[in-house]
Amino acid sequence: MSKVDIKKAWVRESKFGDWFLNTDTWLIHVLRRALDDLERLIPENKPKQFHTILDIGSGFGHSLIELDKRFSPETIIGLDVDPEVVDKAGSNAQKCQANVEFLINNAAEIDLPDNSVDMIFCHQTFHHIVDQDSAIKEFYRVLKPEGCLLFAESCRRYIHSMVIRVLFRHPMHVQKTDMEYLQLIEKAGFDVVEQQLSRPFLWWSREDLGLWETLTGRVEDPDSREETLINGVLYKSPQ
């Protein structure tokens, strides 16, 4: 990928962001909590093990260990646009039972064959992607028929909050609400089922880090608030 392509595809994380992605707070309260929720949303009649998993934005590789432990894949492909990902994630990849491969690639142009992976894990990565329309089409293309997309993302309200603007870096013009993300996913061809969706309103996703609720005991009305997070288990239609 050329330097020009990388600039179009990717907004480099801040130094604080890189540090935060290696903390226990990230691992326990963000990554593991999302995976716990996503596992719960997988229907009983669907597979719980996946031969080949594509991890979008594998970063420091903490997700590789979690995916390996939870889903027993034979192969995990860690896709990341950052050329330094192999150095960042190498030690965590070695802890996996699965064969871990790295793909330095723009998620909007995935260098994999059609119908080649059983599951895609996209956790807190999609809102970093500039060309989201192309990326979700690529997800659909590389998934096998009836393949599974585990999608866990922060929504516009959270990314546009002051604390996130100051501490992290994102392409602000592409951020979406939960419903806008679901519309994009459905348009690409995925089956969107309400029972396989979750909208957790976690303390760390709020503008005040949950301080107002702690002090007052008042909770925002789920029927009227703008959501901060969307988790979903989506399937590619049989072909």
Mean pLDDT of 25-32: 93
- What per-residue confidence (pLDDT) applies to 53? 98
| Angstrom distance (rounded) from CA 85 to CA 12 | 13
- What per-residue confidence (pLDDT) applies to 19? 85
Q: Which residue has the higher pLDDT, 84 or 32?
A: 32
| Angstrom distance (rounded) from CA 13 to CA 103 | 19
Q: Tens of pLDDT along 92-130?
A: 999 999 999 999 999 999 999 999 999 999 999 999 999
Each domain of the chain, given as residue ranges in start order, spans 3-236
| Angstrom distance (rounded) from CA 118 to CA 233 | 13
- The structure's pTM equals 0.91
Percent of the chain surpassing pLDDT 90: 67
pLDDT bin (cut points 50, 70, 90) of residue 72 is: very high
Mean pLDDT of 79-87: 88
Q: Is the pLDDT of residue 30 over 90?
A: yes
- What per-residue confidence (pLDDT) applies to 225? 87
Q: Is the pLDDT of residue 168 over 90?
A: no
Look at residues 149, 231, 152 and name the one whose alpha carbon lies nearest to residue 198: 231
pLDDT bin (cut points 50, 70, 90) of residue 3 is: very low
- What per-residue confidence (pLDDT) applies to 210? 59
Mean pLDDT of 51-68: 96
| Angstrom distance (rounded) from CA 83 to CA 85 | 6
Half-sphere exposure of 187 (CA within 13 A, CB side): 12
The CATH architecture assigned to 3-236 reads 3-Layer(aba) Sandwich (3.40)
Q: Is the pLDDT of residue 208 over 50?
A: yes
Q: Cβ distance 186 to 68 under 8 Å?
A: no
Mean pLDDT rounded to a whole number for the chain: 90
